[in-house]
Every structure is written in C-alpha cells, then in structure tokens.
Amino acid sequence: MHLRIVQQRLAFIQNSFVRTYKHQTKIFGYNTQLKTIGNTKEIEKILCDYNQARQANPHVALLIDAYRKHGHRLAKIDPLGITVNTSIPELDNKLFTTDFHVENEHDARSLFGLSTEQSIPKTKDDWIRQLNDTYCQSISLECEYIESDIERLWIARRFEQLRSSPSISSDLQRRIYEQMRKCEAFDQFLQAKFPTLKRYSGEGAEGMMAFFDLAFQNSAQLNIENVIVCMPHRGRNNLLVCLLNYPAATMIRKIKGKNEFPKDVKTTGDVLSHLYTSTDLTYDGKTLHVSLIPNPSHLEANNPVAVGKTRACQLSLKEGHYADTEQDGGRHGDKALCIQVHGDASFAGQGIIPETFQLSHLPHYSIGGSIHLVTNNQIGYTTPQHLARSSRYCTDFAKVVNCPIIHVNGQCPQEIAQAVQLSCEYRDLFRKDIVVDLVCFRKHGHNELDDPTFTQPTMYKKVQDYYKQEQTSDQELDEKIKIFRNTLEEQFSIADKYQPKAPHLERQWSDMIQAKSTRAQWNTGLDGNLLKYIGVKSVLVPEEFQVHSTIARSHVQKRQQRIEAGNGLDWSTAESLAFGSLLLQNYNIRISGQDVGRGTFSQRHGMLVNQKNDDVYIPLNSMDSKQGFLEICNSILSEEAVLGFDYGFSIHDPKNLVIWEAQFGDFFNGAQIIIDTYISGGELKFLTQSGIVMLLPHGMDGAGPEHSSCHMERFLQMTDSKENGIDGDDINMQVVNPTTPAQYFHLLRRQMIRNFRKPLIVAAPKILLRHPDCISSLTDMTDGTHFLPVLTDNLSKIKINPEKIKRILFTSGKHYYTLNEERDKRKRDDLVIIRLEELCPFPADELRQEIKKYKNAKDFIWCQEEHRNQGAWTFIRPRFENIVGTHLKYAGRDVLGTPAVAIGEIHQQECAQLLKLAFD
C-alpha cells in the first residue's frame, strides 16, 4: 500500500502539467515526456523504511513529529531577541513516554536524518537534546502542512542531516563574512559621502548578501545558466555594486542628480532604489547570467514580472515542455531560475503575493519553482509585526501551495549557508517554490533620515545595543575590505566624467531600435494563397478528434466556407490569420487571460476540446515543423499577477507576441499597478521595451456600469501624446479602437514586424465579433495593405457625393455602425462619418487629408457612445483644434459618475438623444 502511495505522489509531482492535458504530445506542441524528479526507487525506499520504522518505534516517531511540527516556535531566529518563546505546551516533556530505546540503528536513521558521523540518541533526554539542537536554534523549518509524504519526509530528513553535519569550512565562513562586510562597507561609504541620502541600506540585513552569493554559486553547480532576480529597494544598491558588477560610478552620478543612461537615448530614468542590471558571474569555472529586473515603488509588483520573464527565458532555452522533441526533454527550471526577494510587511500585506503563488503550479505559468528570500526586518515602515498581519509569520501565505519555509537568523553565517543549501536542493529535486525567511532588522528607520525611536523605542534600544557589541577583526579580511573601499573611492573620483552605457538593445534585443519621433508605415499584408492556407489550417483537426457539434457547424465549417470564398471574414478569423502568419515567420505567440481559449464571447476557439476524452488541440501549432509556438493560457481569476507575468514574458525577447485579454474591458482595473508602473512608463524609466497587447472588450450595450467600458480615457490620459504637436512612433503606448477584422489583423502583425516594441491597448469589440457588417475580405489583408489610422466612410447604402457633404461626424469604434445604420434609415446624403481607428499616436495628418475631401462641410461633430467625461472626447478635442485646425461640437451622453446606467429605459432614452444630437 505504501509503495502505491509513493508512486502516486511521484506521478503527481513530476507530471503536474501532463495530468491536466495528458494524451497527445501535439496537444499544445509540448513535450510530455519529462525527466523524473530523481532516483525514484531510492525515494520509494526512504518512505517505505520510514513507515516501517514508525510502526516499530511509535514513541520516538511521535516525539520527532512534534518537533518537526512545533520546534520552529522555540527557535532563536531573532537576532535582537525580542520575540522569544521559552516553552511550547505541545513539546512538554510529560506528554511523551520514557521508552525511547531504538533497537535497530537503521530504524533510527530512517526516522531522523542523522549524518553518518552522528551517533544514535539512546534516551529520551538524548532525543530531546538532539531535536532541540536541530529545530530550536538559529534556524528552523516549517513543512508539516505539506500534503506530499515524499516531500515532507525528504526535506525534514535533509534539514536534519545538514544540522547534524560538522560546521561549515573556515573558507566558506570567511567568504560569507567577506560578503557581509562588503555590504556594510558600501553603506558606510555612502553615509560618509552623502550623509543626507535616503539609500535604504542593507545595514542589519547583511546576511542577504551571503544568501545571494551562495545561491548563485549553487545555481552554477546545478548547471543553471540564467537567474532572474526581483527585489524591493532595501539592500538593492548593495547587491548591484557588491556582487552584480554594477559600476559604482554610475550610481554615484545618479546620487549627484545626473542621468544613469547616455544622453542619446530617450528616457526619464528612475530613482536610485530602482536601478537594475544584467551581468555574467563566474563560479567554479561556470558562467551564470544574472538579471536583476527593474522594480517600482509598489512593493511586490515586480514578483510576477520576474516569474514571467523566467518563463520566457525557458521558452528561449527550449527547456521542459518547450523542448522541440521528447529526446531533448528536461524539466522546467533546468537552466533558468527565479529568485524572488520580498519585504516582510509587503509579503504579508500585498494581495499580489498569494496571486503569484497561485500561478506557481499552473501549466502555462509554472517555472519549475522559485526560491524566495524574505528580508524580514520585523517591521513595516513604522508598523510593528502584531499590527502588520494576523498570522504568526509574515511567510504564512506560502503554505497555501504547500511551500516549505526555512526561518533563519540573519546574523548566523553557518545557518544561512544551510538555508541556501537546503532551498537549492529542494527546488532542484521537486521543482517547487521554497521560502527562506531571513530574520534581521533595520539599523535605521524606514530610511536613513527617519528616526525610528519615535514609534519603536524598545526595538531600537535593542538595535543600538547590538551595534555596541565588540566586532571581531580578521587581518586578511580587513585587507580585502580596504581594497574594496579604495575601489569605491576611485569610482567616486571618476563619476562626474564617467559615461554610462545603455543596458537595452543587447543580446536578443540587438536588432531593435528606439522608436523615432516620426511615424512609419509598415506593409503588414501577405500573399492571398498563404492566407487561405493558414485559414484552412486554423480549424483542421486529426480525423479521430471529435469536435463539439455546434463548434463544428458554426466555427469550423463557417470558417472554411469564408476562407474559400475570400470574403465575409469575421474578427476571430482575422485573428487566426494574423497568429498563423506570425507563427510561420517564426515568432512565438502567448495569449493569456480568463477563458481565452474559447473566448469570453465564444468567438475564438483557438483550442478545441475532444468530446471523447477532454484532450485539447491547437490547430495553429501544426502548420509547419519549423514554425513558432502558440501558447493559449486560460489563467486564474487574477488580473494583477497575470498581467504582471505576461508583461515580464514580453520584455524577455522581442520575438514573442504576448497578449493579455480581459474578460471584460473594465477588468484591467484590478491590474492598475502593473499598467501604471510598467506598461505605460517602463521604457521611459528603465529603457525596457515591451510589445504587450491588452485586449479590453468595450461597448455600451445596456449591460450596466461594470462591464460596459474599458475606460479608454484613463489610457489616453496616461499616454505622452502631444496636444499641440505631431506624435511620432516614440509615444509611450498605442491606444486603438479598430472597427474591422482586417484592421485588427494588421495591428497584430505590425506589433511584431516593426524594429521596435510598444505596448498596444486595444478597445476590443463585443457585438462586432458577429456583427453582419463587421467583416473583411482577404484582399483587405493581401500584400501591400496595412493598418489605416483613419478610415473613410465606406459602408453607407447611400451614394456619397463629397460636394454635397455639409456635416462630418467623427467617431471611434463600434459606434460607427450605429451611426451608419441611422444615417441610412434617415437617408441623409449630406453627411459623412469618419472613424479614428488609432487615437494614440494621434493621426493628425490623416485627418487633415480626409477633411480636405469635403470642402463644403460646415459642421464638425464628435460623436461617441461613452459619457462626456469618459471615452475619447477630452483627448481628441484639443488635438483637433490645436493640430488639425478644426473646432468640434459634441454629440453624446452627458457626464455621469459611472460608466453606464443599469436601467433599460434610461439607456434607450440616452441612445435616442445621442442620435438626435448627431443628426439634428
């Protein structure tokens, strides 16, 4: 029975992806034959021996279980000694019998992880002493909540083995002290040179530098090639200069108010505590590429970004499920690792943390486990622990996904080394997240100018006492620190003349440029026969694959007919043609969001489900053996973490088209932090380009306030479009509201074939997905065609004579179809309707050219379905007047405090009034 349970656990761990989508290798184009988690037979034997030993020695097993579960509560992990428990009822001596003699040495070692040099405890007191030394000192472990017997037993025994082993070597101990001393020396240098600088020092948390150094070394030993690190501000500059080869001269320039980037790049830069780098480190002859990604002031927002970038790195390396063939195999995390660094208060308080943890085991978001470091200062800004959370530890959220947690005193080198060793081994074996809670303190307040004794007198009396302790001296180490300080002095002396380098457009981005201040037109059309080939392939499934009857009729057959006819192409067909063409050009595509496989409005069906056995098939992944890879990711019910993940995926490689689709347009507001701190300003602040596409279903359809609007006005307000000048391609992000499938096709293709990347915000359709007039033909997408920022009037049943036009209606999005229908109904041949398909960059030249066609026009009206204080009105009005030279009148709904009314009668009255204003 035990052996069967073991095999089930192993199957669960090593095939967490395959257990969901399990039968066909071509289901996702993924390789489903992965390496096992290790020596399976050896692990099976460990569990079997353990269960047998428990039956033979139940009293010893009960005591060991108690310490494994509760020992951490007695651990001396606080370097200040503020939070100390002296007794735990569950570990009371009286609860355990005196019969603790273990006859069989093998049983003892099966129950408890003793090193080969360690003798077997003989009595109850011996066992308690051993357990206290293991679990109740400067390091402890929480793992008893882990469901898997294999994982729980393995990590407990390995922790016990490390604790019972001899002390770390003097060389390793010296190396740890060197990193901690360099961290301290760097802070002292900055304090001396810039005494009024808010630097968010690492003082009190120097142990994190030892953690990083050892984690990088362990990664190199495990043949990992890339490490992506995310980190908040505290100690960040120490890591950059002390370990990641960041030029101190660049940092000193920044402190003095100079630009951290060259003058020839367009950038605003960011604050000192948000600097970042990418560098190669060498450990034991092995090269490790380490990227510390940019961070915003919104703590923890960079965590899903780092995870997404790591997943994209794994795609580039073709590891794990991204491998081309079964023989290439491997597992996610073989070559790329994510290290996530957190603050204690933010880890407990920010909702993005549990959201990101929920991604950790999911097929399209897993990266084979992250190593988490919590720099636990035991205080948040000025808030003490008992007011910052309801749980015992700041790390308790991690338990939701059965993540083991190591608590360690941040001033104890040997224990830090053990924590790093255990976390790296666990993650490598089980490919799951693990947390190291580094308990430390802040020497200063929230920053170096903040007096913490205002609110925390007791804690900071302890901090002051700590720094009064006599520090040991080591002549050899002192000499190394002296050399380091001299290097900092040299960097200080050259800082004013130092020319920093731009860290962008390197490696996989070397073929890209920064967008120019002019606008370029891109031929995004393709050969008609190629488009027909892609269209047929987009709904082609294996003979034995049983498609749902409704989908077979309304989706598969209809698309085949439309492709054959070459016209009547709807929105989803145009999307498939864009996807397929980019895949054949060897770009990769990732579309992510809630229910994107089917599509919120049952329009996409990019992934088809076999009605016989739930197998999933993506036809566009089977066009050509050398094509790119399409990954369709039905996400968890999260916006902030998922959008952050997808943004991180998009910044790794310009060959990846990454799309995040909101279920409804307003869902983006759950991810506003990612939009504000990364998408809208990422390139200006960090020189980090992203071509991420946000699809936001938008339209006033009488559905009430919540899902009507994507709040286009917010995105337009966030752009750096000019009110009194001509926009170029160098705007910070594009905002579009396309009205035809062909326009959408060209937009998606333009995102990738350009030699720069910009975020694209699409006010996507709802009713236009199946609107009978919202169709395109293959000729609209053939070679020589391209996206049109302004569309001329072309759907009216009334013949338009430019000489007769007295009124021009300007609009954007699906409202055009309402206006066109009303005009035909009224048989008005004296007005024309012009569509702004692209709002930012603002198409001033195209609008001028279009207006010139109608020389007798006297009335110029902007008509929108959104309320006056929403939509595009406040954005386009000054641009029409200042740049186009046209004064606009407004026809639309009045101002409102919500996006829409929820009373049907009022909605209809608004619609009628809107049309009356536009036409009368």
- What would the pLDDT profile of 736-783 be if each residue is shown by its tens digit? 999 999 999 999 999 999 999 999 999 999 999 999 999 999 999 999
Choice between 644 and 39, residue whose per-residue pLDDT is larger: 644
Write out pLDDT tens, residues 503-539. Answer: 899 999 999 999 999 999 999 999 999 999 999 999 9
Q: In the CATH hierarchy, which top-level class contains the domain 170-503?
A: alpha beta
pLDDT value at 176 more than 90: yes
Strand ranges for 635-751 from DSSP E: 656-661, 693-697, 734-736
Regarding beta strands 405-409 and 434-439, do their DSSP bridges make them parallel or antiparallel, or are they unpaired? parallel
Write out pLDDT tens, residues 140-159. Answer: 999 999 999 989 999 999 99
Regarding beta strands 226-230 and 383-384, do their DSSP bridges make them parallel or antiparallel, or are they unpaired? unpaired
Give 328's pLDDT tier (boundaries 50, 70, 90). Answer: low
Choice between 45 and 653, residue whose per-residue pLDDT is larger: 653
**Percent of the chain surpassing pLDDT 70:** 95
pLDDT value at 44 more than 90: no
Average pLDDT of the residues of the chain: 92
Q: Which pLDDT does position 24 carry in this prediction?
A: 29
Q: Which pLDDT does position 884 carry in this prediction?
A: 96
Give 40's pLDDT tier (boundaries 50, 70, 90). Answer: low
Take residue 261 and report the two structure tokens written for it: 């980037």
From the list 903, 866, 890, the residue with the least C-alpha distance to 711 is 866
Write out pLDDT tens, residues 115-141. Answer: 877 888 988 999 999 999 999 999 999
What is the value of pTM for the model shown? 0.94
Q: Average the pLDDT over 364-375 and give the result.
A: 97
How far does Cα 78 stand from its chain's mean position? 32
Range(s) for CATH 3.40.50.11610 in the chain? 791-919
CA dist 701 and 703 (Å) reads 5
On whether the CB atoms of residues 524 and 785 are closer than 8 A, the answer is yes
Distances (CA, A) of 325 to 31, 329, 583, 585: 6, 7, 18, 20
**Percent of the chain surpassing pLDDT 90:** 81
CA dist 910 and 905 (Å) reads 9
Q: Which pLDDT does position 384 carry in this prediction?
A: 87
Cβ neighbours for 903, distance < 8 A, ≥ 6 positions apart: none
Q: Which pLDDT does position 119 carry in this prediction?
A: 86
pLDDT value at 200 more than 90: yes
Take residue 247 and report the two structure tokens written for it: 């030029």
Q: Which pLDDT does position 4 carry in this prediction?
A: 44
Take residue 159 and report the two structure tokens written for it: 């922790």
Q: Average the pLDDT over 82-88 and give the result.
A: 81
Q: Which pLDDT does position 38 carry in this prediction?
A: 52
Omega before residue 841 within 30° of 0, cis? yes
CA dist 380 and 197 (Å) reads 20
Give 329's pLDDT tier (boundaries 50, 70, 90). Answer: low
DSSP codes, 90-138: GG-GGGS-S----S-HHHHHHHS---TTSPPP-SHHHHHHHHHHHHSSS
Q: Which pLDDT does position 325 carry in this prediction?
A: 67
DSSP codes, 625-647: TT---EEEEE--S-SHHHHHHHH
Residue 762 has phi, psi (to 5 degrees) of -110, 115
Distances (CA, A) of 658 to 339, 369, 398, 509, 694: 23, 22, 28, 16, 9
Decide if domain 528-787 falls under CATH 3.40.50.12470.
yes
Could you tell me the fold of the domain covering 791-919? Rossmann fold (3.40.50)
Q: Which pLDDT does position 326 carry in this prediction?
A: 59
pLDDT value at 871 more than 80: yes
CA dist 377 and 394 (Å) reads 11
pLDDT value at 28 more than 60: no
pLDDT value at 10 more than 60: no
Half-sphere exposure of 437 (CA within 13 A, CB side): 28
Write out pLDDT tens, residues 432-450. Answer: 999 999 999 999 988 889 9
Q: Which pLDDT does position 39 carry in this prediction?
A: 57
Range(s) for CATH 3.40.50.970 in the chain? 170-503
pLDDT value at 30 more than 60: no
Q: Average the pLDDT over 282-311 and give the result.
A: 96
